[in-house]
Amino acid sequence: MGERFVVVPVDGGVGVANAEHSEAVVPDPAPASGGIEEAGEDSVFEPPDPDAVVPILEYNREPNKYGDGAPKENSPFIHNTENDKGNSYDGTNMALFEEEMESNPMVSSLLDKLANYTNLTQGAQEHEEDDDDEGAKKKKVKSPAMGTFMGVYLPCLQNILGVILFLRLTWIVGTAGILESLAIVALTCSCTMLTAISMSAIATNGVVPAGGSYYMISRSLGPEFGGAVGLCFYLGTTFAGSMYILGTIEILLTYIVPQAAIFVAEKKEDEVAALLNNMRVYGTCCLALMCVVVFVGVKYVNKLALVFLACVILSILSIYAGVIKTIFEPPDFPVCMLGNRTLTNMKFDSCLKTDVIDNVTVTTDLWSLFCEGPELNATCNQYFVNNNVTVVQGIPGLTSSVIKDNMWSAYGPLGMLVEKTGLPSSGGSDPAQDIYLPFVFNDITTFFTLLVGIYFPSVTGIMAGSNRSGDLRDAQKSIPIGTIMAIATTSFIYVTCVVLFGACIEGVLLRDKFGDSVKRNLVIGTLSWPSPWVIVIGSFFSCCGAGLQSLTGAPRLLQAIARDGIVPFLQVFGHGKANGEPTWALLLTFGICEIGILIASLDAVAPILSMFFLMCYLFVNLACAVQTLLRTPNWRPRFKYYHWALSFLGMSLCVAIMFISSWYYAIIAMAIAGCIYKYIEYRGAEKEWGDGINGLSLNAARYALIRLEEAPPHTKNWRPQVLVLLNLDSDQGVKHPRLLSLTTQLKAGKGLTIVANVIQGTYLTKETEAKKAEQNIKSAMTAERTKGFCHVVVSSNLRDGFSHLIQSAGLGGMKHNTVLMAWPGTWRQSNDPGSWKNFIETVRETTATSHALLVAKNVDSFPTNQDRLGEGTIDVWWVVHDGGLLMLLPFLLRQHKVWRKCKMRIFTVAQLDDNSIQMKKDLQMFLYHLRLDAEVEVVEMHDNDISAFTYEKTLVMEQRTQMLKQMQLSRTEREREAQLIHDRNTASHSAINDKANETGPDRVHMTWTKDKLSTERNRNREGNANVAVRDLFNMKPEWENLNQTNVRRMHTAVKLNEVVVNKSQGAHLVLLNMPGPPGNRGGDENYMEFLEVLLEGLNRVLLVRGGGREVITIYS
């Protein structure tokens, strides 16, 4: 409900006290046409009539129709002009804030919105509901109602406990021993616990939408890190799906239906290859089936989640029940030993060489495996002959002393036989033939770091709770408690399982990965109660469920990354079915998951996904540490039990485990993340998420600026930090974009560049123009690849604006030391003398502030960044020493590919008393010490005679200046007046020429061209200089009254221009010392004329004024 105030008349006799009790505040009789708009525009500012009624403000609750028309930010709380006006202020006591409430809500309105804010689920369940209700009226989505136990604790428990526990933990305990296994568990669980603490701090620092871990990392560390880690998390989740599917198939083909194998090994040495091929075929079929299930209906996966969770819990309980049972009645799982070697109990029933049947000694099935025939006199394997067979109980029970034997590790190479210490063993075996015999041996080389990589996936899954944040009743409370409790529970389970497995199971059986010595029973199943099938069936469904959930979560994570728009080439995966199902992302997930299936070995896939999860956990810890150390104002987690040192320790553990597990996998994972980071930085969409990396950059910048402030840079570190003074046209477009090209070529992305412009006026009236100008300049900088900052200033006049920029642009030690601007080419035609006066004042100001100055003439003819100049020269005319800037600039330009083929030439001017030969040698030596490759030439300018052409140019200049000062003429009149002066001078020239012809042929014939004057000067050199000057004054008496300072300066400009044009007219670029402006401001226009004469006939010129300090040195 909106409010507005309407002026209504009240009798003048009503005082303030009466007005408080009057009915002055009444409903608006004409809401459609009434209101303050009915009053005249100037009525607000006219003095009140003493006889008129006193107006008061009437309160009206009609919808507010007043607005400034400016587009507002799309936010639920700020600038919501459509919905918040209804309660933006209440009564006249808030009238003072009326203007602010056009764009900002009242506190009561804000609190009301925050209280009613709900973070609805964006997961698969809602997609299915939308699919079911397509075309019908959408039903209301229920508010999230899941608590800590159901929403976080159980999902984390289900994701953490999985395939490694059931298929590999017994083998890890047998291989690494109890002590080293406990070290592995402690190392990995400490890593996940520290990560959970960091994650809890991030998750409770505000509302975490559905999307969980990726959202937390990207919004904490920025889009570059977010995209890199998000994709690593996606790859980890995808390879986890591969691992779970491989676990499913291993359980199916090894323990449930081994006869279903397609590839059957005829020889024992081919068994591993056959198993891997079977895994590939069945794994691909299983993957395809699961993808179809996910595509058809994720709701079935969600409904089966509790079934899969029940399988996990029942399997864990059956293990503990079996351990307790071993105290009273250990299960009977005999292991047959030949000598001290373990035999595969697949093709024989009795662990005997011979048996007595009806008082007849006969050979057993075991005999036929080691001998050439069933006969008692058959040739047998020597080791079989020399050693006896014994039976060892596979599960001796908790009260046995087997824990002593299992305390230490038993690592070995590929093909090493599984042997029991303490049993007698006689030699006679052939190691080359042992592989073909029914012994149990290592299928891979084992060592501590490998086992860390294989085991780590069993502690992943800690983010299952944060990924469901949208379904939780109180995510900020549930995520920390549920996740930490789940990690504590699973850590307890893993520690107790390690100890109990080592205390209950014989060591040779623990090291038997596939249970070959107990008739292919699952080793952990032999310990369970009431039957091994409880573990087999439970682990099978557990792996199936985990695989389905990975294939459900990974595509949605990829879709979230794609929809964020930070990785352009992934945008196609943001699309899906009409209800939002990520179809394309599911196809990519299928392809990547198939890579893991083709690897086929669970032990080879586990370290791969370990790397990607560790990368993710590393950056979670980094995000928490950065935010804590920066003390960002928005960093206010409700979870208080965190510290930056814990996050740093967690981050260090992640890096350590990565390189412990597999250093080459770690490097590959970091390289992938680095490539993604640089790609997003180079090509990705710009996002501002208020991340911690920006805060880190700010702190680093502040520290660096404070350090830079301590002392000025050394000459060796000096480089041009450029302030570019840019001109804009009437539409705020950039006039000279080539000035930015020159800046890019000069800087090559190094150092500081500030591109600035001044708009005349006040900021309140020119705000729109200033923003448009800034946007246009930034666009031009992007087009010209100019890396730097844009600064647009609105000032009451241009002169002050440029002065403020030169004085105050930059910050601390990062201030400009060089000013770059374009030559005002139209200063003669301009109606406003301020154009060239501002230019000269800028020159003076840069000199006063000790800034170097670069002025580009004919800047529009300078090359673009795409041009490639061919063979040519960059000519440097070194007239006065400027600190070495003239020689440094060509070197910097030649670093850029535009100028790379150009050669550098340095010209210097020798006067009458100079030894030009020695000057050239000294300059060559100087350049040699400066490590600059350049040709050197010394130009002699010995003729000090001032030509008639110089006098005439000076006369025309002074007459024009004087006349324009006296007459305030329009542009047309100025041009006409200038033409009259030219005609009059031409007539004077003609009269002098006629007089010269009448006098005789020995007089000078002058038509006032430079070539003829040069010839005439050479003819008259023999005469006395004073006589020559007197003769010139006789030709035109006006010359005698000229300002001799102007004459000398014009003479320098003319002479130097002749030499420069003669030597450098074909150069790609001419760099020239820029003479300073006169001390007397009355001669400013003459100064512009001098520069015009100096630069006449040259195409690309860069005038250079040094900043009063050395910028180049011969020392290292």
**How high is the pLDDT of residue 505?**
93
Return the ∠ at Cα 775 (arms to 773 and 781), rounded to 5°: 100
- The confidence band for 590, taking pLDDT boundaries of 50, 70 and 90, is very high
Q: What is the CA radius of gyration of the chain?
A: 45
Distance CA 385, CA 387 (A): 6
Distance CA 506, CA 402 (A): 6
Structure tokens at 441: 């041996």
870 vs 19: which has the higher pLDDT = 870
Distance CA 930, CA 434 (A): 75
**How high is the pLDDT of residue 77?**
41
Given a cut of 80, is residue 40 above it in pLDDT?
A: no
Given a cut of 60, is residue 1029 above it in pLDDT?
A: no
CA–chain centroid gap for 186, Å, is: 35
- The confidence band for 1028, taking pLDDT boundaries of 50, 70 and 90, is very low
| Residue percentage of the chain with pLDDT more than 70 | 72
Mind giving me the DSSP string for 72-87? ----SSSS-TTTSGGG
**How high is the pLDDT of residue 953?**
58
**How high is the pLDDT of residue 83?**
46
Structure tokens at 1007: 């038509």
Q: Cβ distance 471 to 151 under 8 Å?
A: yes
Average pLDDT of span 7-29: 42
**In 3D, which of 49, 59, 48 has the Cα closest to residue 24?**
59
**How high is the pLDDT of residue 196?**
93
Q: Residue 1010: how many CB atoms within 10 A of its CB?
A: 17
**How high is the pLDDT of residue 1034?**
47
Each residue's pLDDT tens digit, 693-743? 666 677 777 777 777 766 667 776 677 889 999 888 888 888 889 999 999
Give SS3 for 341. strand
Each residue's pLDDT tens digit, 377-434? 888 888 888 888 999 999 998 888 899 989 999 999 988 889 888 888 887 777 777 7
Strand pairing report for 360-363 and 389-393? unpaired
**How high is the pLDDT of residue 353?**
87
- The confidence band for 278, taking pLDDT boundaries of 50, 70 and 90, is very high
Strand pairing report for 54-60 and 4-10? antiparallel
Structure tokens at 772: 């448009």
Measured CA to CA in angstroms, residue 1048 lies from 944, 953, 1054 at distances of 10, 12, 10
Average pLDDT of span 601-618: 89
**How high is the pLDDT of residue 875?**
92
**How high is the pLDDT of residue 431?**
76
Return the ∠ at Cα 878 (arms to 1054 and 913), rounded to 5°: 75
Average pLDDT of span 303-325: 88
Distance CA 870, CA 381 (A): 84
Given a cut of 60, is residue 568 above it in pLDDT?
A: yes
Strand pairing report for 753-760 and 360-363? unpaired
**How high is the pLDDT of residue 455?**
93
Q: Cβ distance 1084 to 1049 under 8 Å?
A: no
CA–chain centroid gap for 272, Å, is: 45
Average pLDDT of span 451-473: 83
Mind giving me the DSSP string for 137-200? PPPPPPPP-B-HIIIIIHHHHHHHSSHHHHHTHHHHHHHHHHHHHHHHHHHHHHHHHHHHHHHH
**How high is the pLDDT of residue 945?**
55
Given a cut of 70, is residue 972 above it in pLDDT?
A: no
Average pLDDT of span 169-196: 95
Least confident of 499-513, 517-531, 928-942: 928-942
Each residue's pLDDT tens digit, 783-795? 888 888 999 999 9
Return the ∠ at Cα 474 (arms to 558 and 114), rounded to 5°: 90
Distance CA 589, CA 1001 (A): 100
Q: Cβ distance 1071 to 874 under 8 Å?
A: yes
**In 3D, which of 532, 540, 527, 537 has the Cα closest to residue 499?**
527
Given a cut of 60, is residue 137 above it in pLDDT?
A: no
Least confident of 214-223, 728-737, 980-989: 980-989
**In 3D, which of 965, 200, 1039, 56 has the Cα closest to residue 646?**
200
Average pLDDT of span 1102-1113: 81
Least confident of 40-44, 344-348, 453-457, 605-609: 40-44
- The confidence band for 280, taking pLDDT boundaries of 50, 70 and 90, is very high
Distance CA 608, CA 240 (A): 9
635 vs 983: which has the higher pLDDT = 635
Average pLDDT of span 908-929: 81
Given a cut of 60, is residue 517 above it in pLDDT?
A: yes
**How high is the pLDDT of residue 564?**
80
**In 3D, which of 99, 15, 102 has the Cα closest to residue 56?**
15
Q: Cβ distance 616 to 658 under 8 Å?
A: no
- The confidence band for 993, taking pLDDT boundaries of 50, 70 and 90, is very low
Average pLDDT of span 165-170: 91
The label of the residue with tokens 């006889």 reads 51
The top-scoring range by mean pLDDT among 15-29, 187-201, 1076-1090 is: 187-201
Q: For 49, which DSSP code?
A: P
**How high is the pLDDT of residue 239?**
92
Whole-number average pLDDT of the chain: 76
Instruction: Please tell me the number of Cα atoms within 13 Å of 74 on its side-chain side.
Output: 0
**How high is the pLDDT of residue 506?**
92
113 vs 583: which has the higher pLDDT = 583
**How high is the pLDDT of residue 58?**
40
**How high is the pLDDT of residue 579?**
67
Amino acid at 300: Y
Distance CA 338, CA 367 (A): 12
Q: Residue 173: how many CB atoms within 10 A of its CB?
A: 28
**How high is the pLDDT of residue 973?**
57
Distance CA 825, CA 835 (A): 10
**How high is the pLDDT of residue 657?**
93
**How high is the pLDDT of residue 152?**
86
Cis peptide before 530 (omega within 30 of 0): yes
Structure tokens at 480: 């920390």
Measured CA to CA in angstroms, residue 327 lies from 503, 518, 1082 at distances of 11, 21, 112
- pTM of the full structure: 0.67
The label of the residue with tokens 């080791």 reads 383
Structure tokens at 668: 């590959």
Average pLDDT of span 317-338: 91
**How high is the pLDDT of residue 965?**
56
Amino acid at 13: G
- The confidence band for 19, taking pLDDT boundaries of 50, 70 and 90, is very low
